[in-house]
Structure 1
Amino acid sequence: MSSGNDSILDAFLYETNTLLEQLDSLVLAAEQQDSFSQDDINTIFRIMHTIKGSSAMMEYNSLMTIAHRAEDLFSIIRDKTMDVVPENLRPELFDLLFQAIDFFRGELEHIENEQPLTENIDILLGKINRLIDEIRTGGQPADAAAPAAPAAPSNSSAPAGFPYGLQIFFDEGCGMENLRAYMLLNTIHEFCSDSDMTYEPQGVESDPATADQIAESGFMLHFRTQADRDNAIQAVTGSGVVRTYQAIDETAPAPQPEQAAPAPSAPAPAPEAAAAPQQPAAVSEPAAAPKKAAPAPQKTAAPTTHHKESLISVNLNKLDALAAVVGEIVITESMVTASPDLKGLKLDAFTKSARQLRKLTDELQDVSMSLRMVPVSGTFQKMNRIVRDMCKKLGKQAHLTLIGEETEVDKTIVDSIGDPIMHIVRNSMDHGIEESPEARVAAGKDPVGEIVLSARHTGSEVIIEIKDDGQGVNYDAVLNKAIRNGLAQPDVEYSHKDILNFLMAPGFSTNTEVTEFSGRGVGMDVVKKNVEEVGGTVSITSEPGQGMTTTLKIPLTMAIMDGMEVSVGGSIFTIPIHNIRQSFKITPEDLIQDASGGELFRCMGSFYPVIRMRDLYHMNSGCTDIQDGILIWLDAGDLSYCLFVDNLLGEQKVVVKPLPAYLNRFNIKASGIAGCTILGDGNISIILDVANLYSAAR
């Protein structure tokens, strides 16, 4: 596929995904009110209209057909207001829209993965048709509309009430005549509603067989009024693929065909493409739609329309490249200012310029990092849909409360934490929230459960908490399951913290049967793995009968971080600043031995294991006497321990560099090594993974 087509496809995917996110939030909010406002109805109509047109342009027939019928549905509601939908049909309307959203998202996923689109859409199409019929009959059950049979040839008599005909022939050999007819209909629908016109053959949007019929007999339109037909003629003359057309009145002899106005031979894009929302900056804008004789109905703008001139979408790969260049600048600047050639020289002008360069470099780092920062609101809002669907399927009552949606995190990290948060929210709904409102009332709680999803900054990291007020963890059940799985010993006493850690073991599940949401042993272990891959940690707390809280600690960015440089022998290591609590100079009397011979340091009434870097990595040099070195107290999630090193060299902002791929076969990450950075003098410093470092030492 050419780069031009790739750009068009990227624009289509970006636009449609954006519209679906907007639609999902809109329908969720409307369901709470059990009604759509007139603005909501106009917005949904516009969204379906846009998806229909852009899908037709991309020749994605399944998306086009569903969007077309959904547009027809909201055309009825738009013309007659929400009052036309009986109370008993409103839950079905909301459910149907959610099904349509899921269908669109599934099809987009197929497109992204280069998989074939769904061909059989009869079930969803039938549901939409049936709902349209029931709304038209005032809520009475009606059979789903059957696909219309091909209409009679275009020279047949006009339908009753539609005396003004217009027969259209497209350029010979242009191909896809049915889609061209459908796109022409979209143009005419801008000023003429479905009730004021009809056409044949029917089914042009979904039946490719109609292309041959249109090529042979033309595409026939019938209008109630001559004014509508005259406006349609002006729209037809603006199309680039219409060869001839002729106006046919039911009571008048058929006139001679007229030649369509000259137009470029290339097919014009769907009108919706010209009205598409903001698209990635790298994508060329589609050609403008042909001018209409009558002005199109004013459409309600999306909530973010007023930002479109101040926002720009940039490919993430370009931001990655920018971050890499900035990182190299930071390293080069450090190498220049710390050059050994400058030792002993008093260069006032150079020193002043170096300070200014450092200031500008720091500002450049901040700006490049801020470009990658996005709010977590997009990920958080998606959880509303998870809670809503599970409430319906599990028969539970719960609502989701969002706090700190404006908190910003690196785009790569936001993409990585979506699945972990989804798993935790599903666990809270499935395992946490009680089965019935009566059970909650009996426990002295509000009959409606609550799940709180919050985010906040703490300097160099963001804390995300998922808290529910459900029944909490059954410690005995978890421990018994852990014993049966061989994760725990029956004769060992485990703390609540140890028992909660079993929940994050691979394949662990307390469900006795597999359901749609749980029981397959895939969940919290996936959460732990995904969060650790972006340098974060997971911890769980729970109080029986009161609920459970899962806390994710995530770094704001993985590209540049604040680190503490330490030395062991001739080697230099970097420890993330946010993992350091305190450092000590101690004596041998401050250490005690545990039963296995390990060293412990007592601080603030608690004992913490001591890990000696020299012993851990079997180094030939470095301090061995405890009073000669420095003890650093580290935290990583639930872990807390002390690391013994030779010296603290100072704090420094470092650029994180991944280790070469071939080192992965040595399981470097499990050894407590997260990556490396290049120091100002050109030496390499190993960046320590505080959580895995402790595991490697055990």
Structure 2
Amino acid sequence: MANDMMEAYLYEMNTLLESLDEMVLGAEDRKTFSQEDVNEIFRIMHTIKGSSAMMEFDNLMTVAHRIEDMFFIIRDKGMEAVAEELRPELFDLIFQAIDFFKAEVEKLESGASLTEDIDSILANIKSFSNKIQGKADDEEPAAEAKAEPEAPAASEAGGHTSSKFPFGIRVFFDEGAGMENLRAFMLASAVRDSVESESDFDYYPADVDTNSETSAIVVDEGFSIRFLTDELRQKALAVVKDAGSVGNYNLFEYEAPEAQETQAAPQQAEPPKAQAAAPQSTPAAPAPAAQQGGNNNANKNQKESLISVNLSKLDELNAVVGEIVITESMVTASPDLEGLKLDNFTSAARQLRSLTDQLQDVSMSLRMVSVSATFQKMRRIVRDMSKKLGKEVNLVLEGEETEIDKTIVDSISDPLMHIVRNSMDHGIEENVQDRIAAGKDPVGRIVLSARHTGSEVIIEVIDDGQGADDEAILNKAMRQGLAVPGVDYSHKDILNFLLMPGFSTNVEVTEYSGRGVGMDVVKSNVESVGGTVSISSEKGHGMTTTLKIPLTMAIMDGMEVSVGDSVFTVPINNIRSILKMTNGDVIHDSTKGETLRVMDNFYSVVRAKEFYQMEKGQDEIDDGIILWVESGDNSFCLFVDKLIGEQQVVVKPLPDYVNNYGIRNYGVTGCTILGNGDISIILDVASIYAASQAG
């Protein structure tokens, strides 16, 4: 149970912090927080405070509490209270808090000890709170006393009445429930979301979130929640009925001392529903409640339509679906069935294929997520580096809605971060006058884009900076022994040095680069998920780094082809057309290269038999089949012996010891098991093209 609570807490924290980061970045661009922003930040900090209190992470709770207090002041006074010259400090302060929370979450994820010293960040929050209230630094901000209620008067029934909030609900939790103070606080958080404004109600004891000694009061006297109107109380009553661990409750009202105080008869709480009990058992409860803003049936249905699933369970599901696909293929393609006329079996087999296709599509769609969250993280990097490096840069995001496998999204986050940092540090000019002299906009520009091209996603990072200096790169490569003096390297060869281990053009070690951890790490990370990295650049005109990433690594539609006795699988999404050509259609050039004319364009021919140096296979174009294939912007004609047929295949990664020989560079991306149990090599069209051109 403890592990489940921790998982829920970490998931909630990461989700809230991503949302908060994006919100503050947008507000900084507008140079102000909207009223909605202020309310949302207040709610997020309230949620973090409550969840951290339940998990007994006191320092996280305290920081969230102080920021909540600060935004209570801003919400009460309006953004007008924050002078324009103070707003950059406010944004920096919130980013400092976000970084603090992220660092603590990372420590929790790695099992490290949490930070004990939070005096610095608390002092900054207190100082800023006093600035917007016109107080001295040594004074306590007024917001810290906001939760102090008027002195309550205990009614005969034990409810704590209030003349300001005359309509109350007194709640008792199940006997022995434990942590009654935190259960009370979570209930108050849920009630807060059912009313229009926090000023519509209060509760007693008021410090249940920070004072564990209030548990005894809640056990003995109950937890009193008090409202301005009976209508508000009725709305909150629905929340109380649905809350977990509530044993019973009663209603009470305040009347003037000379009047007879009335009290409704105690009512037994309805049994808590299974779905409603969840918020009391996990710290992740406040977030959904804050988003729903009510307790009607429509909102409940909406909340229940989304669940979080452990990624390992999806991995297990995909593995099972993959085995089902293989087994289905083995059954329907069994050699024992050859020559038999089995109409009923054939019909059932077609239906089975249709169902396995649907099952595969559904299982894969569960893992597909947009790159939006990863792209948004880059905004923060550009923002921080702009300030520290003194460079004004705009980040443009394109194709954020593009979806790829969750595992791949996680794998490319660090490579993208490094590429963007390179563009900021190496690419964008330090001197604005240099940009102006080159006819560029004084403000630098970095474009981060994503788009689908069949079976892969193309992600590009484009900057309009100073570009690559071939001479500087070559000299550095020679000093590091990567290049040989006297050899005439092409522009492309020189750019490839940037992808080699330990290469860096920075003279000094900075916070962002120059430590010898360079683009080679990007290359290896991207290749680990079956992708490729390429760089293009022209001195003075910026640099483009292109990542080609497969949509998924699990199941794909492939065309089985044979060359001699071997079977290869070509991804269907890479095949533009299948052609029957003759020897007379082949055009020979002076370098003994072969070209075919297809739809008024000329494409080079790659013979699979020669490319893989195989003994068996067709040599005459008349006797084989031409596959017109493409990957990204590159197209060519692949010559094979014959087609076997389309097949849905499960992609199996190659063993590490095979990858060590650089086999990926020769068009082999993985393998699959065929219906008859044979192994088929899966071809990577992009790598075949690159290798054939290099050869």
For residues 106 and 132 of structure 1, the distance between their equivalents in structure 2, rounded to whole angstroms, comes to 24
For residues 314 and 212 of structure 1, the distance between their equivalents in structure 2, rounded to whole angstroms, comes to 36
Please tell me the residue identity of whatever aligns with 2:565: G
Q: 1:77 is matched with which residue?
A: 74
For residues 500 and 683 of structure 1, the distance between their equivalents in structure 2, rounded to whole angstroms, comes to 41
In the alignment, is residue 43 of structure 1 matched against residue 37 of structure 2? no
Q: 2:252 is matched with which residue?
A: none
Equivalent position SS for 1:35: coil
Q: 1:16 is matched with which residue?
A: 13
For residues 584 and 204 of structure 2, the distance between their equivalents in structure 1, rounded to whole angstroms, comes to 93
Task: Indicate the RMSD between aligned Cα atoms, in angstroms.
Answer: 5.3
Deviations 1:429-482 (A, max 9, x none): 112222243332222222212111111111211111111122222222112212
Equivalent position SS for 2:436: helix
For residues 638 and 511 of structure 1, the distance between their equivalents in structure 2, rounded to whole angstroms, comes to 32
Q: Are residues 272 and 45 of structure 1, via their aligned partners in 2, closer, same or farther at CA, if it must alter by over 3 Å?
A: farther
Please tell me the residue identity of whatever aligns with 1:622: K
In the alignment, is residue 325 of structure 1 matched against residue 320 of structure 2? yes
Matches within 5 A, 1:549-628: 549-578=544-573, 600-601=593-594, 613=609, 616=612, 622-623=616-617, 625=619
In the alignment, is residue 366 of structure 1 matched against residue 361 of structure 2? yes
Please tell me the residue identity of whatever aligns with 1:57: M
Q: 2:163 is matched with which residue?
A: none
Q: Are residues 332 and 180 of structure 1, via their aligned partners in 2, closer, same or farther at CA, if it must alter by over 3 Å?
A: closer
Moved more, 654-663 or 461-470: 654-663
> Which residue, out of 280, 288, 295, partners 1:277?
288
For residues 677 and 307 of structure 1, the distance between their equivalents in structure 2, rounded to whole angstroms, comes to 41
Please tell me the residue identity of whatever aligns with 2:550: P
For residues 465 and 633 of structure 1, the distance between their equivalents in structure 2, rounded to whole angstroms, comes to 26
> Which residue, out of 439, 453, 456, partners 2:451?
456
Unaligned runs of 5+ in 1: 147-159, 220-224, 242-260, 280-296
Q: 1:56 is matched with which residue?
A: 53
Please tell me the residue identity of whatever aligns with 1:398: V
Q: Are residues 414 and 186 of structure 1, via their aligned partners in 2, closer, same or farther at CA, if it must alter by over 3 Å?
A: closer
TM-score normalized by the length of structure 2: 0.75
Deviations 1:564-620 (A, max 9, x none): 3233433322233455678776599977897xxxx7545679997967657857x6x
What's the CA shift for 1:108? Answer: 0.9
Please tell me the residue identity of whatever aligns with 1:29: G
Q: Are residues 540 and 664 of structure 1, via their aligned partners in 2, closer, same or farther at CA, if it must alter by over 3 Å?
A: closer
Q: Are residues 624 and 99 of structure 1, via their aligned partners in 2, closer, same or farther at CA, if it must alter by over 3 Å?
A: same
Q: 1:395 is matched with which residue?
A: 390
For residues 149 and 617 of structure 2, the distance between their equivalents in structure 1, rounded to whole angstroms, comes to 99
Q: Are residues 312 and 278 of structure 1, via their aligned partners in 2, closer, same or farther at CA, if it must alter by over 3 Å?
A: farther
Matches within 5 A, 1:274-313: 274-277=285-288, 308-313=303-308
Q: Percent identity?
A: 60
For residues 88 and 544 of structure 1, the distance between their equivalents in structure 2, rounded to whole angstroms, comes to 40
> Which residue, out of 298, 308, 315, partners 2:310?
315
Equivalent position SS for 1:462: strand
Q: Are residues 612 and 678 of structure 1, via their aligned partners in 2, closer, same or farther at CA, if it must alter by over 3 Å?
A: closer
In the alignment, is residue 525 of structure 1 matched against residue 520 of structure 2? yes
For residues 6 and 538 of structure 1, the distance between their equivalents in structure 2, rounded to whole angstroms, comes to 38
Q: Are residues 366 and 197 of structure 1, via their aligned partners in 2, closer, same or farther at CA, if it must alter by over 3 Å?
A: closer
What's the CA shift for 1:276? Answer: 2.8
Equivalent position SS for 1:109: helix
What's the CA shift for 1:662? Answer: 7.8
> Which residue, out of 643, 646, 651, partners 1:656?
651
Q: 1:88 is matched with which residue?
A: 85
Unaligned runs of 5+ in 2: 142-147, 161-172, 221-225, 238-242, 248-266, 272-276
Equivalent position SS for 1:658: coil
Aligned partners of 2:473 and 2:497 also within 8 Å:
yes
For residues 342 and 679 of structure 1, the distance between their equivalents in structure 2, rounded to whole angstroms, comes to 16
What's the CA shift for 1:489? Answer: 2.4
Q: Are residues 142 and 603 of structure 1, via their aligned partners in 2, closer, same or farther at CA, if it must alter by over 3 Å?
A: farther
Equivalent position SS for 2:556: strand
Please tell me the residue identity of whatever aligns with 1:365: Q
Q: Are residues 437 and 199 of structure 1, via their aligned partners in 2, closer, same or farther at CA, if it must alter by over 3 Å?
A: farther
Equivalent position SS for 1:503: helix
Q: Are residues 181 and 365 of structure 1, via their aligned partners in 2, closer, same or farther at CA, if it must alter by over 3 Å?
A: closer
What's the CA shift for 1:70? Answer: 0.6
TM-score normalized by the length of structure 1: 0.75
For residues 5 and 336 of structure 1, the distance between their equivalents in structure 2, rounded to whole angstroms, comes to 45
Please tell me the residue identity of whatever aligns with 2:616: G
Equivalent position SS for 1:492: coil
Q: 2:110 is matched with which residue?
A: 113
Please tell me the residue identity of whatever aligns with 2:366: L
For residues 645 and 198 of structure 2, the distance between their equivalents in structure 1, rounded to whole angstroms, comes to 73
Please tell me the residue identity of whatever aligns with 1:85: V
For residues 638 and 298 of structure 1, the distance between their equivalents in structure 2, rounded to whole angstroms, comes to 49
What's the CA shift for 1:364? Answer: 2.4
What's the CA shift for 1:522? Answer: 1.8
> Which residue, out of 129, 132, 135, partners 1:132?
129
Matches within 5 A, 1:451-530: 451-530=446-525
Please tell me the residue identity of whatever aligns with 1:493: D
Deviations 1:625-674 (A, max 9, x none): 56666677876789988877544434432111235678778887677643
For residues 271 and 343 of structure 1, the distance between their equivalents in structure 2, rounded to whole angstroms, comes to 58
Q: 2:378 is matched with which residue?
A: 383
For residues 226 and 319 of structure 1, the distance between their equivalents in structure 2, rounded to whole angstroms, comes to 46
Matches within 5 A, 1:251-270: none
For residues 549 and 486 of structure 2, the distance between their equivalents in structure 1, rounded to whole angstroms, comes to 36
> Which residue, out of 19, 24, 27, partners 1:27?
24
Aligned partners of 2:609 and 2:618 also within 8 Å:
no
Please tell me the residue identity of whatever aligns with 1:36: F
Q: 2:223 is matched with which residue?
A: none
For residues 180 and 607 of structure 1, the distance between their equivalents in structure 2, rounded to whole angstroms, comes to 70
Matches within 5 A, 1:320-359: 320-359=315-354
- The number of residue pairs the alignment matches comes to 635
Q: Are residues 451 and 359 of structure 1, via their aligned partners in 2, closer, same or farther at CA, if it must alter by over 3 Å?
A: same
Equivalent position SS for 1:490: coil
Deviations 1:128-172 (A, max 9, x none): 1111122221xx7625869xxxxxxxxxxxxx997669999x9xx
For residues 320 and 126 of structure 1, the distance between their equivalents in structure 2, rounded to whole angstroms, comes to 46
> Which residue, out of 402, 421, 434, partners 1:426?
421
Q: Are residues 345 and 57 of structure 1, via their aligned partners in 2, closer, same or farther at CA, if it must alter by over 3 Å?
A: same
